């Protein structure tokens, strides 16, 4: 298994994966060039050279290293047999192109070396044939003319071969740049999609937190009012009616809030309920009607708060009062202190602990949600028992 895998991996640099139609096009072009050259006429030695050139042309894209090797075999055979240059030698140009376009780093340098060496070899071979008795070019007795003609021929051959190789390198660079842009574009699209999914998840978390606040607060009020109405029904019918009215109002408001939240969750649009500090009085009145004694105090000069901070303060107060109604002692008033400092708002909510009850409210969404709201609003929050009271302290930066 290891030997077969190593053999397969060693063949990958030698052969490229082409689509069937690409291979068919290359073979067809090489076949047509071969047949056209044969139709002109060639002896059997030159026929071998033409065949090797056509084979290199056919394999140039599927295997650039093999095509370059076959090309050199054909050139060496041609030089050894002292055959004159032939039009089939033009296969050198596309083969040099593919060495830099598709080849490995090593093959690219071999292609450049072949272009330079081939230019010197071709021009030198032509002049060698000329002075060996085969009058291929005009043989001038003037040495300066010969040197000048040799230089022009060498410069032309170098330009032809190296330009072919350079064009292949430029096409390769352009293709790599295009692939890089496409990869970057895909990465940006995936990043945007991931950010959108994160935003959706954050929005769902916020909605779940708001849903908890609305439902827990409303149900706590409804339960407290229902219990009060049940006990007051016989002695004070008016109190029972007031309790039922509070239950109805609270339930309707909760239903409206839940519908908005569910609509936002379903369609990912629209605004959910966004209470602010001005809504605190209505919240306190509602909780007092549920039987909770509340004392509110403010010290310092109030500062303007951002909408998100006002929402955080409202939800912290709402959750704290709901916990006090459910878990706290009804004998001790809940105190809410707003301490406005030069650059901070310190909010303290303290309620009495029920006798024999838990020292801390249940670990659901409540305390964690309050702490997260405070952090998102640029502050901190602590919630812990202090003596016989449970104290929630939130600090928000207002400057």
Task: Give the CATH number of the domain where residue 392 resides.
Answer: 3.30.565.10
Question: Do both 296 and 398 map to the same domain?
Answer: yes
Whether the full predicted model's pTM is greater than 0.75, yes or no, is no
DSSP state of 103: S
pLDDT of residue 261: 57
Question: Do both 185 and 280 map to the same domain?
Answer: no
DSSP secondary structure string for all residues of 315-368: HHHHHHHHHHHHHB-TTS-EEEEEEE-SSEEEEEEEEEBPTTS-SS--SSHHHH
pLDDT of residue 174: 93
Question: Do both 20 and 164 map to the same domain?
Answer: yes
pLDDT of residue 199: 64
**Range(s) of the domain holding residue 381:** 276-399
H helices, E strands: number in the chain: 11, 5
Asked which of 135, 162, 189 is the last residue of a domain, the reply is 189
pLDDT of residue 356: 55
- Tokens 């084979």 found at: 55
Q: What's the total number of domains in the chain?
A: 2
Beginning with the edge strand found earlier in the chain, give each strand of the sheet holding 344-352 in spatial order.
Answer: 294-299, 334-340, 344-352, 389-397, 379-386
110 within domain boundaries: yes
Query: What are the percentages of helix, strand and coil residues in the chain, rounded to 5?
Result: 70, 10, 20
203 within domain boundaries: no
Q: What is the mean pLDDT of each run of 10 residues along the chain (399 residues)?
A: 44 75 91 90 87 93 92 91 87 93 90 90 80 50 71 87 92 91 87 74 66 65 68 66 70 63 52 74 86 90 82 88 82 90 91 63 64 82 89 87
34 within domain boundaries: yes
Q: Which of 93, 98, 109, 31 is nearest to 63 (CA)?
A: 98
Tokens of 61: 């894209």
Asked which of 162, 189, 216 is the last residue of a domain, the reply is 189
78 within domain boundaries: yes
Please, are residues 384 and 360 in contact by the beta-carbon 8 Å criterion? Answer: yes
């Amino acid at each position: 298994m290891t030997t077969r895998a190593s053999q397969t991996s060693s063949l990958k640099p030698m052969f490229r994966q082409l689509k069937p139609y690409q291979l068919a096009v290359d073979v067809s072009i090489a076949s047509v060039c071969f047949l056209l050259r044969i139709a002109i006429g060639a002896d059997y030695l030159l026929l071998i050279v033409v065949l090797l050139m056509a084979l290199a042309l056919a394999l140039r894209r599927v295997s650039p290293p093999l095509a370059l090797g076959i090309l050199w075999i054909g050139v060496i055979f041609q030089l050894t047999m002292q055959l004159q240059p032939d039009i089939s030698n033009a296969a050198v140009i596309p083969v040099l192109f593919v060495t830099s376009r598709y080849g490995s780093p090593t093959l690219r340098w071999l292609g450049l070396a072949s272009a330079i060496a081939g230019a010197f070899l071709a021009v030198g071979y032509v002049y060698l044939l000329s002075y060996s008795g085969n009058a291929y070019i005009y043989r001038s007795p003037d040495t300066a003319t010969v040197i000048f003609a040799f230089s022009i021929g060498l410069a032309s051959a170098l330009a032809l071969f190296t330009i072919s190789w350079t064009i292949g390198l430029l096409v390769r660079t352009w293709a790599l740049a295009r692939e890089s842009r496409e990869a970057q574009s895909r990465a940006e699209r995936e990043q945007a999609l991931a950010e959108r999914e994160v935003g959706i998840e954050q929005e769902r978390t916020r909605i779940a937190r708001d849903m908890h606040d609305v439902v827990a607060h409303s149900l706590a009020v409804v339960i407290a009012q229902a219990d009060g109405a049940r006990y007051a029904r016989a002695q004070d019918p008016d109190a029972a009616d007031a309790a039922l009215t509070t239950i109805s109002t609270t339930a309707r408001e909760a239903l409206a809030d839940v519908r908005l939240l569910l609509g936002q969750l379903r369609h990912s649009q629209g605004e959910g309920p966004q209470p602010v500090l001005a809504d605190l009085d209505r919240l306190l009145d509602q909780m007092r009607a549920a039987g909770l004694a509340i004392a509110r105090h403010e010290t310092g000069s109030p500062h303007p708060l951002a909408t998100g901070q006002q929402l955080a303060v409202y939800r912290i107060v709402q959750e704290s009062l709901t916990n006090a109604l459910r878990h706290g002692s009804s004998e001790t008033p809940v105190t809410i202190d707003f301490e406005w400092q030069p650059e901070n708002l310190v909010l303290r909510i303290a309620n009495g602990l029920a006798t024999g009850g838990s020292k801390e409210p249940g670990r659901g969404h409540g305390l964690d949600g309050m702490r997260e709201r405070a952090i998102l609003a640029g502050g901190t929050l602590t919630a812990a028992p202090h003596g016989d009271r449970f104290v929630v302290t939130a600090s928000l930066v207002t400057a």
